[in-house]
Chains A and B, each alone.
Chain A
Amino acid sequence: MPTLSLTQIHSSDTLLIKSPWKLLNKFKMSEGTATIRTRKFMTNRLLSRRQMIVDVLHPGRASLPKTEIREKLAKLYKTTNDVVFCFGFKTAFGGGRSSGFALIYDSLDLAKKFEPKYRLQRHGLYERGKTTRKQRKEKKNRMKKVRGTKKTKVGAAAAKK
Chain B
Amino acid sequence: MSVSVEEENGAAVEKGTIRAMEISLGDVDKTKAIFDEVSHRTKDCAALVAALAHKVKGKEMTTAKGISFLEMKNHLLLQYLLGLGGVVMTKLTGNSLRDGCFVDQLVELRVILEKIKPIDNKLKYQIDKLIRNASDKQPESDPLMHKANLDNLNPDDSDVEDQDNERPSGKKDVYMPPKVAAQPYDEEDETPAKQMEKVRKKSINRLLIRELQEEFLETPTEIFNKGEGFSSDHLSRHTKDKQRYEETYLTRLPETKKDKHIARAISTMGVLGDEITDFRPRKSSAASAGKKKSLKRKKSTSGGSKKRFRKK
Q: Which A positions have Cβ atoms within 8 angstroms of B? A: 40, 51, 53, 88, 90, 101, 103
CB-based closest 3 A-B pairs: A88-B252, A101-B250, A53-B247
Known: A51-B250, A53-B247, A88-B252. 8 other contacts (CB 8 A): A40-B247, A53-B250, A88-B246, A88-B250, A88-B251, A90-B252, A101-B250, A103-B250
**B252 to chain A: which residues have CB within 8 Å?**
88, 90
Question: Which residues of chain B from 239 to 272 have any CB-CB distance to chain A below 8 Å in the complex?
Answer: 246-247, 250-252
Binary contact track B195-208/A, C-beta < 8 Å → 1, others 0: 00000000000000
**A90 to chain B: which residues have CB within 8 Å?**
252
* Interface size of B as a range: under 10
**A103 to chain B: which residues have CB within 8 Å?**
250
Residue of B nearest to A102 (CB): B250
A51 to B251, CA, bound (A): 12
Shortest beta-carbon distance from B248 to chain A in Å:
9
Shortest beta-carbon distance from A148 to chain B in Å:
37
**B251 to chain A: which residues have CB within 8 Å?**
88
A103 to B252, CA, bound (A): 15
A81 to B247, CA, bound (A): 23
**A88 to chain B: which residues have CB within 8 Å?**
246, 250-252
**A53 to chain B: which residues have CB within 8 Å?**
247, 250
A69 to B243, CA, bound (A): 21
A90 to B247, CA, bound (A): 12
Residue of B nearest to A101 (CB): B250
A141 to B252, CA, bound (A): 37
Residue of B nearest to A42 (CB): B250
